[in-house]
Each structure stands twice: as structure tokens, then as C-alpha cells.
Copies of this chain bind each other. A is one copy, B any other.
Amino acid sequence: MRSRRQFIMQAAAIAASPFISTRVTRALAAAAKPKLGFALCGLGGLSTYQLAPALQKTANCRLAGIITGTPAKAVKWRAEYGIPEKNIYDYETMHRIADNSDIDVVYVVTPNALHLDNALVAAHAGKHVFCEKPMEISVERCRQMIDAVKAAGRVLGIGYRCRFEPHHLECMRIAREREFGAPKIIDAHFGSYMGPSVWRLKRALAGGGPLMDVGIYALQATRYLTGEEPTWISATTTQGDPARFSEVEESVVWDCKFPGGAVSHCGSSYNTAGIGYFRVIAERGWFALEPAFNYDGIRGVRSDGKPIDRPATDQFAVEMDDFARCIMDGKATRVPGEEGLRDVRLMMAIYESARSGRPIDLKA
């Protein structure tokens, strides 16, 4: 039996022919396996409590490996998920993943400012990269990630789970089909309480505060609900408790204008009870989700009293299955690196507006 690596190299040689696209090549390569092997890179809370359990529910993926800097975690995960020793890496050995045909995708779940470095190693090792949001802490680092994965001929996706969540999809449909007429005002908010944190309150690792971590959901929502990119943004931040918020903002509020005539007013905080919602206020009514951004229990309301009841789903399982399916079928993912970059660019504009005290013209 040919090894996966040999198969891929052969497929790559075929792809060199001008008559066969790289998409076909990818499809050929991925078709060799019924499930793609995922390696989780970074075993924090999200990997532990969400991604690993979700992988057990996927149709197209399997938890094949881990990359962790904490030996105790390696022992624990090996025991819990039966991960073979050869599929367990630390950040020193991660590059050797190139030789491991069990692993097709590296899912980067490390602190924000490490995403690029991890993705570069994965891409250079010939692996597809799925990266948690926020994609990185600067536009330039997002671009580097996109370029590196593209140069490796692999696929890059960003972990925007709400883009696969049935209530969110239904709201996108309501907005797109203008059930209540044109959206005029979108109100979106996602905040939480962040106690002392290893990295989330440190600018160098997080790139920012609640905006980068949770506010990004509200920002994303205003974009996928309008289906448009904002042309103008104004923001302000607070620092509040200086013990915790010496490096990143405590709270942030921002307004955007969209080319179709809608405006948004949004907020996020690290010093409030956890709360997340959006509401699209349109010409003839409104619709909303609350809680909107939780892992489960999402609830919708329409001003006309009709239900937005959709079956509960494991958002992480669905997003990973979709990413694997896109690779297998050679289709474009709905959450490419370019989508992650757009949000990072907007979040940088929000910080720039707050810092300068001036709105940012995004058409410029």
C-alpha cells in the first residue's frame, strides 16, 4: 500500500499538469481516507472541553494527534483518547508532523499571537491548517499565514463556529431574503468576566482584550447579517480596574456604517457578567438571538412571533466536518483565512479609532 505521503507527492505531480487543478489534486488526496486526521495544537480549555469531545461526534474527522508543551497533558490525553505516542508532539518536535500521514489537519488553538508560528510549522509540514479566532494579532501576520498555507498548497480555515450554527444560518436567511425589509440598525454585544488570566490580559499574547476574544463574534455577526463590509467605524474603550486592565481594554463600544444603509452599535467587555446577543432591526420588524454566541442553548426571537427554533448542534463538530468535507471535495470553505483577516483588520481599526479618538474611513 502506498503511504499517504507518496500519494500526495504523486497527486502533486499530476497537478503540475495544466489540465488538472489543485482542487482536483486535493480531492484525490483526501479521497484516500474516509476521515481526516486532526491534530489539536494547544490543549487549553477549548481543546479539552469542546474540540476533543466534538471530534468524537464528527463524520469526517478524527482526533489523530496532539501538540502540547505540557508533558502531563500529553499523558492524560494519550490515556483518554488512545492517541499513539508517535502522534504526540511538543513545539520543538512539531515540524516532524510532516512525516506523519495520520495527520491531515492541524487545528491551532494556542494564544492569539502564537497562531502564525504554529500555522507556519503546520503548513511547512504539508498540513491543512484550521485556526481559532481571532486569526492573529495583526493584519500582517494574517497575511503571512494565508501566504504560507497557500504556498504549501493546503487549505486554511478559521474557527468561526457561528457560521455553521443553525440559528445563525436562519438569521442570515431572514436578513438576506428581507423578510422584514432592509436591515437598518444592528445591535450586537458579547461580553464576559475575565479574571486573572495566563495570557488573555497580556497584549503581546492576546493582541487586545474582550474585542479580540468575544467582541469579534458581535463584529462578525454584523458582517454576515448584512452580507457587507463596513465602510466606517468609530470606537472607544475603557480601562476600568487598572490591576487587570493595564495592557488591554476593559470594555469597548463601536459603531459601523454599511454600504447598504445599515448602521451597527456594538459592545464587548471583560468586566461584566457573560452576555451575548444580536438584534437586526429592519423596516417592518426585527429578529434577534439571545443567547447568541454560547456553545449551546441559542434562542431566537422574531417580532412577528414566529419561531426561530432550530435543532441543537455541536457547532465545533459541524465546523470541523465542514472543513474536512471542503478538503475532501476540493470545495472552498466559507471561513477562509481571508475572512479571518477581515475581522482582524476591522478590530485594528477599532483600536486605532479608540486610540486616536477619530473614526476610521474604511473605504480609504
List residues of A whose CB falls within 8 A of some B CB: 180, 184-185, 187, 189, 191, 193, 232, 234-236, 238, 240, 250-255, 257, 261-267, 269, 271-273, 275, 281-286, 303, 357-359
Contact = CB atoms under 8 A, between A and B. Distances in A.
A178 to B, nearest CB: 13
A191 B235 CA distance: 22
Given A187-B267, A267-B263, A281-B275, A236 B253 contact: no
Closest 9 CB pairs of A and B: A265-B265, A253-B265, A253-B255, A273-B285, A272-B281, A185-B267, A234-B234, A253-B263, A265-B267
A257 B234 CA distance: 13
Contacts of A264: 253
Given A184-B272, A255-B265, 15 more contacts: A184-B240, A184-B250, A184-B271, A185-B269, A185-B272, A189-B281, A232-B236, A238-B257, A238-B263, A240-B261, A273-B281, A273-B286, A275-B281, A275-B286, A358-B359
Instruction: State the number of copies, please.
Output: 2
Contacts of A284: 193, 273
A250 B261 CA distance: 10
Contacts of A359: 234, 236, 357-359
Contacts of A187: 187, 189, 265, 267
A224 to B, nearest CB: 19
